[in-house]
Every structure is written in structure tokens, then in C-alpha cells.
Amino acid sequence: MLEIVNLNFSYENKEVFHNATFVIKENEVVHLRGDNGVGKTTFYKIISGIYNIEPHLSTEVYINGEKIEMENLKNYVNYLPSTPYLFDYLSGFENIDYLLALFDMEESRDKVLDNIKKLDLFDSLDCEIFKYSLGMKAKLYIGVMIERKCPILIIDELMSNLDKDSQNIILEKLNRKLHESNLSIVMSSHTSEFSSFEEIKQVRIVDKRFVQQ
């Protein structure tokens, strides 16, 4: 379980979160909602370590009831942003190799390639990424990164770039992981893929805090 207490954060002189508390349990799916610009992506970047919290602020972080330093939270979080982190002038195969090495996932190569085949992208892996559509980039990135072993998975609008069949393949995989491990998922999306999960906790960012609905 992840619990963040008294989250305070400002960005470019604008206060985004004020004494906010966020909780997600093991095997739980959270649909994080809010108006554009309210702070969803900012929150994801905070907990994945892209944005830093000032050490003098009172934010506290707990994993399974044990307090940890905010800077160590990124080790528990697998963040899939709306724009995949890929190299345009490397091939699909080369990007896969890079991601596997970066996140120490070489032992998951067979599972990754199986995902790519199911997503009907394998025949395009020799092509450079700049030739890929948004949907193809999303397939490649998700196909690799959902095999990363972290207890908290964040998907920020990336599923919206997939066709319906590909969404169903990924969601079937995520549902299996939810039941087979202690995975927790936080997602933001404007599409209807959440209907495939048995239970979803709806959380909205309102007035710089997280409100369960």
C-alpha cells in the first residue's frame, strides 16, 4: 500500500497541491480524474521522481506502513507517460534493448517480445521509431514497460493512443497481474477501458487535494 500525507508542491510559482493525501491499496485500481491542468501529470512526475519535493516540506510517504524518504519512492513506481520515452532514430528492436538495459529487465525479453507479437507490432521492429504512428509507439512502450517489476504502475493517457483490440490485450494482461501479484494501478484516461476492471476507485483532484468519489 502507498500512502502520501501532506503533499505540498508548487510549480512555476503556482501551488498545485496543498496538504494533500493520496492512498492506494495493493491490487487496487485508481482512476485519477480532474480538469486539464489541475495536476494529474504533475502528481505522476512527483511520485516517479521527475519532480523533486523540497526537503523542508512536511510530506510523508509510507509503503506498506513503513515510512520511506520521498526520493526513494521512484524505486516503487513504474511510470508510463502520455508520450513514450523512445529514440526516434533507433529501431524498435534497439529501443527495446535500451529499455531492457536501462531498467534491468533483460530477463523479461521473451515476455516483452510476446507482448509485441500479440499487439501485431513485431514485423515493424526493424523500422526506426520516427516512422511509427502514435499508436505504434504506445504499443512498443507499453509492451515493454508493463513487464517492469514495480508494485505501483501509473499509466497517464497512454492507452488512449491504442486501438480497441490492443487496449483489450493490455487490459487482459493487467488484470492477470492484479490477481497474480501485489500490483496497484493508477490511470488517467478519457476512454472507457476502465470497464474491464472488477473494481475501480474514482479519485478527483479538487482544490489542490485528492477527493474520493
Q: Are 84 and 158 in contact (CB under 8 A)?
A: yes
Whole-angstrom Cα distance, residue 160 to residue 121? 17
Q: Are 9 and 47 in contact (CB under 8 A)?
A: no
Tell me the whole-structure pTM to 2 decimals. Answer: 0.92
CA 199-182-61 angle, to 5 degrees, is: 95
Nearest to 77 by CA among 31, 145, 137, 5: 145
Q: Are 44 and 78 in contact (CB under 8 A)?
A: no
Instruction: Kindly indicate the confidence band of residue 192, based on its pLDDT and cuts at 50, 70 and 90.
Output: low
Instruction: Kindly indicate the confidence band of residue 58, based on its pLDDT and cuts at 50, 70 and 90.
Output: confident
pLDDT tens digits for range 10-45: 888 889 999 999 999 999 999 999 988 899 999 999
CATH number at residue 76: 3.40.50.300
Residue 189's domain comprises 2-212
Whole-angstrom Cα distance, residue 62 to residue 73? 9
pLDDT tens digits for range 87-143: 999 999 999 999 999 999 999 999 999 999 999 999 999 999 999 999 999 999 999
Split into its structural domains, the chain has a count of 1
